[in-house]
Amino acid sequence: MTELSIVPAGAGAGKTHHIQETLTQWVRDGKVRPEKILAVTFTEAAAGELRQRIRGALIADSNLAAALAVERAYVSTIHGLGRRLLIEHAFASGSSPQQRLIAEDEQDLLIRRSIEENPALSELSRNLAALGYQGSFSSDETAEDSFRKKLLGVIALLRTLGPRGSDPAMANFVETSIRTGYGAPIGKPETLAAALKKAVDSLLQAFPRSLADEAVSAAAKTAFRENFRALKQAQQLLASSGKDWRLWQKLRGLRLSMRGSPTPDGYDDLATAVMLAADNLVSHPGPLEDAVSHARALVEGAQSAMTDYETRKRELGVIDFSDMVTNAAQILDEKPAVLGAIMEEVDCVIVDEFQDTNPIQFTFLWALARKAKRALIVGDTKQAIMGFQGADPRLTVALTQQFETSPLDRNWRSDPRIMDFVNALGPCLFGEDYTALAAQNASGHDTALEVIELASKRGARSGGKPQHFIADRLLS
């Protein structure tokens, strides 16, 4: 039975100190041998600091032998741990201990080749404009570049799910999620299009020229010019039964009469009729079906490219950065003997920043933690910052809901006045999940909190950007 301790630790609560003290006490009590510590962090710097702290605490105890033994412990990043396990248990898992780790540019080349040689994706890429992909004049990015970036993002996200990312049912799951979020469509496409066409035709028949020439302000001139262009495009498109949801969206926000820029009699009523007809876009069946079709093509295409990519890696005898965790997690799941052998070499499992795990990382670490004699898991969902890499703090939330927790309740970093503010705001943001932190420092003499009110007009000196205002204030 695992002696499990889950410790939510807010910013400045002393989580690293808590890990150090807990490990040191376990060593003192003879519960843990220092060479059999397995500790995981998410950066090399954090891993090095943790190792140094443990070693320093043992030296302070005059336990030099234990301090030296820490060097043989598993204290590393999650990817470093995965790589070590793949090498140490390569033969048991039927793989080579000398698999080469490919560089990012090699990985990118292999994935891009898998994409380019995929028939389904090639077909999809022939109609990028209809799917909303556009080029950018400012960055020289083409529609193809935008599509490839989106596809690479889908592949990266699916890979964080481990084996589930390749499940054929994933496309069905994505479709269900889209339909649930969209809600039930209302009306028939042809009826909604006819209503919009009638409203647009009526407006252009009454006002066949742009109101830009009659507008007073520059903003009004620009708005009326863009509105007229969108109306003419929509008239032509609707006459040929075409569809452009971006254009429909533009028609939902036409400019009406405003102080200083009045419109001719009757214009506002006709423009309002166009906007009301265009507002049906939010429940139009067409965008939903296009979104579902696009999402399914992306997921299925990404899965196909992933399969080809994995084949290419096997043929070359290489692994990439993500494989360090994915393959290690697969070994632990499929080879109970390997997991058992690892647990014989480990007295405890420590995981820091647990809130930043993605699904496959969670699976890997939890497989180890739940089998260890004792485990210490530290994290804080309010500090989750790795969502862009597929991290899902809901995994940690589910863990804290299932098991008893021991939150740290003191803050060793901030001024008490700041903590008073944070503790008052915390329950408003996080409800009962917020743990108040008692400040341990004395109040300083400088201003603890300051409100910076940004200028409402763009100044020549600041460029009107918030970061410039803040920088000016900090440097003044």
Per residue of the chain (476 residues), give pLDDT as tens.
Answer: 679 999 999 889 999 899 989 998 999 899 999 999 999 988 889 888 888 988 998 898 888 999 999 889 989 999 999 999 999 888 877 777 788 888 888 888 888 888 888 877 777 777 787 777 888 777 778 888 888 888 888 998 999 998 889 999 999 999 999 999 999 999 999 999 999 999 999 999 999 999 998 888 888 999 999 999 999 999 999 999 888 898 999 999 999 998 778 899 999 999 999 999 999 999 999 999 999 988 998 999 999 989 999 899 988 889 998 999 999 999 999 999 999 999 999 999 999 989 999 999 999 999 999 999 999 999 888 888 777 778 888 888 889 889 999 999 999 999 999 999 999 999 998 888 788 999 999 988 888 888 877 755 544 444 556 777 777 777 76
User: Is residue 280 within 8 Å of 192, Cβ to Cβ?
Assistant: yes
Name the architecture of domain 3-7+14-97+320-407: 3-Layer(aba) Sandwich (3.40)
Q: Using a cut of 0.85, tell me whether the model's pTM lies above it.
A: no
pLDDT at 175: 96
pLDDT at 387: 76
pLDDT at 148: 84
- What is the SS3 string spanning the chain? CCEEEEEECCCCCCHHHHHHHHHHHHHHCCCCCHHHEEEEECCHHHHHHHHHHHHHHHHHCCCHHHHHHHHHCEEEEHHHHHHHHHHHCHHHHCCCCCCEECCHHHHHHHHHHHHHCCHHHHHHHHHCHHHCCCCECCCCECHHHHHHHHHHHHHHHHHCCHHHHHCCCHHHHHHHHHHHHHCCCCCCHHHHHHHHHHHHHHHHHHCCCCHHHHCCCHHHHHHHHHHHHHHHHHHHHHHCCCCCHHHHHHHCCCCCCECCECCCCCHHHHHHHHHHHHHHHHHCHHHHHHHHHHHHHHHHHHHHHHHHHHHHHHHHCEECCCHHHHHHHHHHHHCHHHHHHHHHCCCEEEECCHHHCCHHHHHHHHHHHCCCCEEEEEECHHHCCCHHHCCCCHHHHHHHHHCCECCCCEECCCCHHHHHHHHHHHHHHHHHHCCCCEECCCCCCCCCCCCCCCCCCCCCCCCCCHHHHHHHHHHC
pLDDT at 458: 47
pLDDT at 451: 81
